[in-house]
């Protein structure tokens, strides 16, 4: 009872565009829309819910592991989040992201999907200048996710 009430109150504090993504399971036909909307949410709100947002992204990726429909969007959302944290304003969230990758992240198959999208961006470098540029800036963390995922897979 109390837990439900607390969750309801917490939900009231989350911007509606972010809430859509965090509660993506409640209507999966809105998934693409939810992923696109994340990239319009105020950065301060996203970093406040960093762990939940990253969990949602990797759950979406893993629960659709037999298709690559959402892979590019999830990858772009990840690049967006890493981009936020690279911003001086949110730099103090760097350790939160590091800890997430080391302790919390558990998507063993993410490395294949992240690598595939990255490869695709590189191969289409002339067409996708903007996305590739953003991905390059996020590369350090993208690689940390890829390496961690691969290590988890091997275990």
Ligand X SMILES: *[C@@H]1O[C@H](CO)[C@@H](O)[C@H](O)[C@H]1NC(C)=O
Residues found near ligand X in the complex (CB under 6 A)? 27, 29-30
Q: Which is nearer to ligand X, 34 or 149 (CB)?
A: 34
User: Cβ 12 to ligand X, closest distance in Å?
Assistant: 20
User: Cβ 27 to ligand X, closest distance in Å?
Assistant: 4
Q: Which is nearer to ligand X, 56 or 107 (CB)?
A: 56
Q: Which residue is nearest to ligand X (CB)?
A: 27
DSSP secondary structure, 72-126, as one string? HHHHHHHHHHHHHHHSGGGGGGHHHHHHIIIII---TTHHHHHHHHHHHHHHTTT
User: Cβ 62 to ligand X, closest distance in Å?
Assistant: 22
- Which residues are CB-neighbours of 39 under 8 A, at least 6 positions away? 76, 77, 80
For residue 31, give the nearest of 19, 21, 22 by alpha carbon: 21
User: Cβ 26 to ligand X, closest distance in Å?
Assistant: 7
Contact 56, 22 (CB under 8 A): yes
Q: Which is nearer to ligand X, 23 or 137 (CB)?
A: 23
Length of the chain as a residue count: 155
Element (H, E) at 35: helix 31-38
Q: Which is nearer to ligand X, 27 or 129 (CB)?
A: 27
């Amino acid at each position: 009872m109390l837990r439900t009430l607390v969750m309801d109150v917490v939900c009231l504090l989350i911007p509606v565009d972010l809430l859509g993504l965090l509660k993506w399971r409640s209507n999966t036909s809105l998934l693409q829309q939810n992923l696109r909307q994340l990239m319009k949410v105020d950065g301060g709100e996203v970093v406040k819910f960093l762990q939940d947002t990253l969990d949602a992204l990797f759950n979406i990726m893993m629960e659709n592991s037999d298709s690559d429909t959402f892979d590019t969007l999830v990858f772009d959302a990840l690049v967006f989040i890493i981009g936020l944290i690279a911003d001086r304003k949110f730099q103090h969230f760097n350790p939160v992201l590091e800890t997430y990758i080391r302790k919390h992240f558990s998507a063993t198959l993410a490395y294949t999907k992240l690598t595939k999208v990255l490869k695709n961006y590189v191969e289409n470098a002339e067409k996708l200048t903007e996305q590739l540029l953003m991905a390059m800036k996020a590369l350090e963390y993208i690689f940390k996710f890829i390496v961690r995922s691969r290590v988890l897979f091997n275990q």
